Chain A
C-alpha cells in the first residue's frame, strides 16, 4: 500500500468538520506546520484539538483559532495566545485542561491498546472531579481514559516511505505518542527517504502506526523564547 502523499493538502483532504485531532509538538517545537496550514486552508470547522499547547496568535494552532475552526481544546498549558484567551472568556471555545503527563499517557494508552491508565496526578484537586479513583499500595490514583482521536498529525525529522519515523532532539515530545494514538496518523517529515535508508536501530516510531507520510516544505521552526548566554562565560 502506498503511504506517500504529495503534500499536506493531499494528506489531510478527508479530514472533516467535527474531527477529533491529535496535534504533536511542545510549544512551537516539533509542530506539524504543513498540516496545520492545510487545515486552515481547507477550512475544516468545529474540530477538537488534543495538543499540549495552543500555539501563538499567528502560528501553529493559533492559526486555526484565528479562523474559529476549533470547537474544543484539550491541552495542559495555553498561556501564550491572546486570541485563545478572548475566545475562552467569551465562551466561544470549550477548553479542557489536563496534567501534561496525563495527556501524554492517554495518547500512549491509545497506541498500546489499553483503555485506561491510573495516575496520581490531580488527586485531591479539581481535576479529580467525577473521576473513578482507586488505591494501590496505600496511594490514590485517578483512572484516565485513552484518547479516541480520528486523526493524529505529527512532525518528524526523517521518515521513510513505509512510515518509519525518527525525531530530532526535544522536537520529539508528544509526536511519537500521538503517532501511536491516532486512528489515522499523518506524518510530515523534513526528509523523506527510501526504505532501507534509516537505521532500524534508530527508528522511534515503527511505520505500522503511520498511515500517510509526506515531505514537508518551508519549515519556519519559530523559537518562542530565544535565550542566549554571552560568549565570554
Chain B
C-alpha cells in the first residue's frame, strides 16, 4: 500500500544522523521533525534566521517575532541561535547544513528539480529553494510518485521551469525510495505491499532495479 504523508515523513526521518544540521521545507518535509528517531539529535535550521527550532508553542504562548520560514509560530530549543538572512544563506551556501529535505513537482534522472513555477499559473516565487538546492550537500526530495492526474513525477527530463540542476541525491515517495546514480533512478526500497512492477509503471524515467528490492521498514 502507498504510504500516507505521515509514513513518508517517518521514512525520511530514518535518513537523519546524529549531529546533523537539517533544513526542512514546507509541507511533508516539515512533518519529518515529528519522527526523529530516539538517540538521534539534530538541529533544525529555519532559513528566516534560526538554528535550533523547537515545536509549535502552546496556545497563548505564540510570539509574533518568532516564526519559521513557513511563517508559522514556533519556539526555540535550549542552545538555539538567531541570525540575519544573509548569514542564514551563507551557512547554506558554504555547505554547513548537512541535509535539506524539500518537496518537488518533478525530478529528472540527472537530479534536476522543478518545484517553483507552473507556466500559466500564478507564480508565488522560489523563496529560498534555489539557494538551498544549489548548495546543499545532500538533498532528499519528499513527494508523491505521481501528480493528481496520475502522471509520473520522475521523468527523463523535467518539463517545468527548473529550480536547480543535478542536485537531488535521493527521492522518497509514497511508493519507493530511489537514489540518483550516474544519471539514473535506482530503486532502493519499496513501500510495504507495493510491487516493483507498479513502481516501474509509474516511473517515466529509466529505473534501475538490481536484485531483490526490500520493503521499507518502520
Which residues of A does B touch, CB under 8 Å? 26-30, 52, 75-80, 85, 88-89, 97, 99-105, 107-108, 119-127, 157, 167-177, 204, 221-231
Contact = CB atoms under 8 A, between A and B. Distances in A.
Contact of B56 (A85, A108, A228): A228
A127 B127 CA distance: 13
B85 A223 contact: no
B163 A125 contact: yes
Contacts of B70: 225
Where chain B touches its partner, the secondary structure class is loop
Interface string B130-145: 1100110000000000
B134 A76 contact: no
A171 B86 contact: no
A38 to B, nearest CB: 21
A100 B47 contact: yes
B131 A101 contact: yes
A172 B67 CA distance: 11
Given A120-B93, A121-B131, A170-B50, A79 B124 contact: yes
A89 B164 contact: no
Contacts, number: 178
B49 interface: yes
B73 to A, nearest CB: 5
Interface in B116-162: 122-131, 134-135, 161-162
B84 A227 contact: no
25 contacts: A26-B48, A29-B67, A77-B125, A78-B124, A79-B122, A99-B126, A99-B127, A99-B128, A99-B130, A99-B131, A104-B84, A119-B93, A123-B134, A124-B112, A124-B162, A125-B161, A127-B130, A169-B82, A170-B67, A171-B64, A172-B82, A172-B83, A172-B84, A173-B48, A177-B86
B64 A222 contact: yes
Contacts of B214: none
A77 B213 CA distance: 40
Contacts of B6: none
A15 B89 CA distance: 31
B62 A226 contact: yes
Given A78-B125, A79-B125, A101-B88, 18 more contacts: A30-B65, A75-B125, A76-B127, A77-B125, A97-B123, A121-B93, A121-B130, A123-B165, A125-B162, A127-B126, A171-B64, A173-B84, A221-B65, A226-B72, A226-B73, A227-B72, A228-B57, A229-B55
B46 interface: yes
A101 B89 contact: yes
A221 B68 CA distance: 15
A172 B65 CA distance: 9
A99 to B, nearest CB: 4
Given A77-B124, A120-B134, A173 B49 contact: yes
B128 A176 contact: no
The residue in B61, B71, B73, B112 that gathers the most chain A C-beta atoms within 10 A of its C-beta is B71
A85 B130 CA distance: 22
B93 A176 contact: no
Contacts of B66: 169-170
B117 to A, nearest CB: 8
Contacts of A177: 84-86
A77 B126 CA distance: 6
Contact of B67 (A52, A78, A119, A224): A224
B63 interface: yes
A105 B46 CA distance: 17
